Structure 1
């Protein structure tokens, strides 16, 4: 591929990603979802696979990470009466880490980064521990994963077309 084609490919891919990100941000705002959490889903898409199936699996791992974050928060609340945060937090983190790191060996949903992205999103959001909060973050992640898939697929398809026409 010549330098001009490389530059054109680079610019086109960049523009597609920027337009897709702007659209995903607008959708997130219109649905009252946190835009930053939308990018968690976008990052999850690019962790592995770059296919629809992998996107669903990666997003499911993020969702499971969110649920584990919710459970960790509830566990911390339950332990708060029995011990200090300095004791409770390491216990909860140990339990969550043992579970998450163990899940990497599953034949499906083995995306360790996806689980941790879900946990990070949960704790970064500082939302009340509820299924509604999980749903809000998962919804934002879904918008982001979809945007990543659309951006990747559209760029791949558009970039294949000029290459065939040039030859």
Structure 2
């Protein structure tokens, strides 16, 4: 009987925790977006890092691995853009498909690595580079990588803050 009387309190507590989890994510996302603007990095690229953090595991170790794969994906994007530029004169319209094939075979094959095997995060990096329309350069790599690092760090902070609300069992 006591458990039945306590049920409304459990439901209320659960609802409050649900809202608090959501509020933490919203506040951290807003702070990360504001930081992106202050640092003059694209907010959307910050969210690439945020999404990458949550692709596999939600701890610092997995987050760092996911972020490393994003950075490598960005680097593959820079290399691919340079390769397309170099191969367009001899191959014409076939340069892009040839480079995409080469990059895709490499990235998908990396799934066999013991650590840096997050194919989704590699593709997030590639997408971020090509979506940015930046020139293929180290500056572009660090610009987008910095934004992604901010987002991944914000994802980690969000999880750490939400874990403080988790019931201790």
Q: TM-score, normalised by structure 2?
A: 0.92
1:33 aligns with 2:41: yes
Q: Residues 83-98 of structure 1 correspond to what in structure 2 (within 5 A)?
A: 83-85=91-93, 87-98=94-105
Q: Secondary structure at the match of 1:84?
A: helix
Post-superposition Cα deviations, 1:133-161, rounded to whole Å, max 9, x if no partner, equal 0100000000000000000110111x13x
- Identify the range of structure 1 (3-12 vs 119-128) with the bigger mean alpha-carbon deviation: 3-12
Q: Tell me the residue number matched to 1:64.
A: 72
Q: Identify the residue that residue 137 of structure 1 maps to in structure 2.
A: 144
2:14 pairs with 1:6? yes
Structure 1: stretches of 5+ with no match in the other structure: none
| Counterpart in the other structure of 2:154 | 147
Tell me how large the CA RMSD over aligned residues is: 1.4
Q: Aligned partners of 1:35 and 1:141: how far apart in 2?
A: 9
Task: Give ranges in structure 2 of 5+ residues lacking alignment.
Answer: 1-6
Query: 2 CA distance for matches of 1:79 and 1:64?
Result: 22
Offset at residue 60 of structure 1 (A): 0.2
Query: Which residue of 1 is the match for residue 3 of structure 2?
Result: none
Quote the residue 1:113 is aligned against: 120
1:127 aligns with 2:134: yes
**Partner Cα distance (1:118, 1:3) in 2:** 41
Aligned to 1:23: 31
Given candidates 27, 35, 57, the residue that maps to 1:49 is 57
Q: Distance in 2 between matches of 1:5 and 1:90?
A: 55
Rg: which structure is higher?
Answer: 2
Structure 1: 4+ residue segments shifted above 4 A: none
Q: 2:87 aligned with 1:82, yes or no?
A: no
In the alignment, the residues of structure 2 paired with residue 95 and residue 5 of structure 1 have an alpha-carbon distance, to the nearest angstrom, of 53
Q: Deviations over 1:25-62 (max 9, x none)?
A: 11111111000000000000000111111111100000
